[in-house]
């Protein structure tokens, strides 16, 4: 099938490369000429396992092409996917101006019968509104369909190839069938529904997962206060099939480019519809407080005052396996620690950027050297394997704050260091 993907961000590139691998001819429209140049040169602008290989093979085979001209990108496309940013607006609601701008740019140029797919996370009701807009300006025969993405960074390519489900929200059955056809070859349940429910599936899924993480963090905080070990508590809970062991790892709070934005957006969607989603408001509040709890531990570990102290920080990305700093709890921790008067020396195996308030160093050992407190903020496996004795010798102080529960407290203590985890 001839397919067009507008927006070469994370979602768009994985979608485009994945569809090319399924045998479709894909043209990507991307406004950033530099990014198009990178892609044409056979490189991936993101670090994402398997993506560079997939992009390269599509580009070499000619099934994947790039252009800065969106109108050229949609020419002869049977399906047009919009994979565009929907940043958080001033009131927590999603800002749709980029999506709307592109719809206005290409709407009148689409062939009758084209299926226009909203893949970005958009407020509930957007697909219907875009459909109404297109109908009003007289672009007849275009069907707007919601097809939310469920990719997680670090596993995006395998999430595309082996999806948990494909959700298709359409008001016209033929359009839904065309979209189901494009995914032929993927072994996944297909959920056919209306666009509003499809949009809600995405928000409800992310809100549930964010709530689950936050529940784990809240249980950890109670465990810590009463002297229980959250890791044993979660292990004991998880054997109940209804609960399970997954996605409840305690930490510094959830982050990234999706959960913080989508939870706020859902609160705002519900509020606009007359429902106060106080459960989710609580999740957002508990999550933000979780950052401060970690900083309180760092302060306690430094003897009650961070002024003039040095904190060696391990990890800056919002989770292991990515270089992405968007919404990273680690960056927020660094900001708060710096604001409390301490120097932050940080190492992340995937991040080299210059960052405000942070002195970047090149290794775990360099981060530890001369630090009063060592703080683990991202769960990179190499931090779990560090030589704790050797690290202890480089520290100026004797404290480790493990905000990801990565280390064995007994090992840290036997190296003569004091240990703070989350809920243990």
Give me 364's structure tokens: 């775990």
Q: How many residues line the site for ligand UGA (CB under 6 A)?
A: 20
Binding to ligand UGA (CB under 6 A) within 179-208 occurs at: 206
Shortest distance, position 250 Cβ to ligand UGA, whole Å: 7
> Given candidates 46, 150, 183, 192, which one binds ligand UGA under the rule CB under 6 A?
150
**Given 27, 145, 209, 258, which residue is catalytic?**
258
Q: How far apart are alpha carbons 338 and 265 in whole angstroms? A: 30
Considering the rule CB under 6 A, would residue 318 count as an interface residue with ligand UGA? yes
- Here the tokens at position 209 are 């997962």
CA angle (165, 115, 53) in 5-degree steps: 55
Q: Which residues contact 277 (CB under 8 A, 6 or more apart)?
A: 266, 267, 270, 271
Q: Is the CB of residue 220 less than 8 Å from the CB of residue 420? A: no
| Strand pairing class (310-314; 343-347) | parallel
Backbone angles phi, psi at 2, to 5 degrees: -85, 125
The answer to the question of residue 152 lying near ligand UGA (CB under 6 A) is: yes
According to DSSP, residue 109 is labeled: G
Pairwise CA distance, residues 154 & 309, whole Å = 34
112 CB burial (10 A radius; 0-12, 13-18, 19+): exposed
383 binds ligand UGA (CB under 6 A): no
The enclosing H or E element of 195 equals: helix 195-226
| CA distances in angstroms from 361 to 67, 157, 173, 201, 340, listed in the order given | 38, 31, 56, 42, 21
Closer residue to ligand UGA (CB): 78 or 319: 319
Among 251, 349, 397, 423, binds ligand UGA (CB under 6 A): 251
Q: Which is nearer to ligand UGA, 247 or 275 (CB)?
A: 247
Query: Considering only 27-35, 145-153, 175-183, 223-231, which stretch makes contact with ligand UGA by CB under 6 A?
Result: 145-153
Pick between residue 334 and residue 417 the one whose CB is nearest to ligand UGA: 334
Angstrom distance (rounded) from CA 19 to CA 3: 8
**Applying CB under 6 A, which of residues 319, 343, 345, 424 lies at the interface with ligand UGA?**
319
Would you say 318 or 347 has its CB closer to ligand UGA? 318
Closer Cβ to ligand UGA, 107 or 329, answer by number: 329
Residue 313 φ then ψ, to 5°: -115, 130
Stretch that binds ligand UGA, among 98-106, 133-141, 244-252, 263-271 (CB under 6 A): 244-252
321 binds ligand UGA (CB under 6 A): no
List the one residue from 5, 209, 330, 331 that touches ligand UGA (CB under 6 A). 209
Report the residue from 14, 117, 124, 248 that binds ligand UGA according to the rule CB under 6 A.
248
Q: How far is the CB of 303 from ligand UGA (least distance, A)?
A: 28
223 is catalytic: no
Closer to ligand UGA by Cβ: residue 250 or 312: 250
Catalytic residue positions? Answer: 258
Summarize as ranges the residues that interact with ligand UGA (CB under 6 A).
121, 149-153, 206, 209, 213, 247-249, 251, 254-256, 258-259, 318-319
């Amino acid at each position: 099938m001839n397919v067009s993907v507008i927006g070469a961000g994370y979602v768009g590139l994985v979608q485009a490369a994945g569809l090319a691998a399924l045998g479709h001819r894909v043209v990507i429209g991307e406004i950033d000429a530099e990014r198009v140049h990178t892609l044409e040169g056979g490189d991936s602008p993101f670090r994402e396992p398997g993506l560079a290989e997939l992009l390269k093979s599509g580009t070499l085979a000619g099934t994947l092409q790039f252009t800065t001209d969106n109108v050229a990108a949609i020419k002869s496309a049977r399906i047009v996917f919009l994979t565009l940013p929907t940043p958080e607006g001033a009131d927590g609601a999603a800002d749709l101006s980029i999506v709307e701008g592109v719809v206005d740019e290409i709407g009148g140029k689409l062939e009758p019968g084209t299926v226009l797919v909203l893949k970005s996370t958009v407020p509930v009701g957007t697909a219907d509104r875009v459909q109404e807009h297109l109908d009003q300006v007289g672009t007849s025969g275009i069907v707007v369909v919601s097809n939310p993405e469920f990719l997680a960074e670090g596993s995006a390519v395998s999430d595309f190839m082996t999806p948990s489900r494909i959700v298709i929200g359409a008001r016209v059955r033929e359009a839904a069938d065309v979209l189901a056809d494009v995914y032929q070859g993927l072994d996944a349940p297909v959920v056919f529904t209306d666009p509003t429910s499809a949009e809600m599936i995405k928000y409800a899924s992310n809100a549930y997962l964010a709530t689950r993480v936050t529940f784990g963090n809240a249980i950890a905080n109670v465990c810590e206060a009463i002297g229980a070990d959250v890791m044993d508590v979660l292990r004991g809970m998880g054997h109940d099939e209804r609960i399970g062991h997954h996605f409840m790892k305690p930490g510094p709070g959830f982050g990234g480019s999706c959960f913080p934005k989508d939870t706020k957006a859902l609160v705002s969607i519900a509020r606009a519809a007359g429902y106060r989603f106080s459960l989710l408001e609580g999740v957002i509040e508990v999550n933000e407080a979780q950052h401060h709890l970690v900083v309180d531990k760092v302060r306690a570990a430094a003897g009650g005052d961070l002024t003039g102290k040095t904190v060696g920080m391990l990890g800056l990305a919002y989770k292991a396996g990515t270089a992405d700093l968007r919404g990273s709890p680690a960056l927020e921790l660094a900001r708060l620690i710096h604001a409390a008067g301490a120097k932050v020396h940080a190492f992340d195996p995937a991040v080299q950027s210059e960052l405000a308030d942070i002195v970047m160093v090149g290794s775990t050992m360099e981060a530890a050297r001369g630090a009063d407190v060592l703080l683990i903020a991202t769960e990179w496996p190499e931090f779990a394997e560090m030589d704790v004795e050797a690290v202890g010798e480089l520290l100026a102080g004797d404290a480790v704050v493990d905000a990801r529960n990565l280390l064995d407290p007994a090992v840290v203590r036997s190296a003569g260091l004091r240990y703070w985890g989350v809920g243990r």
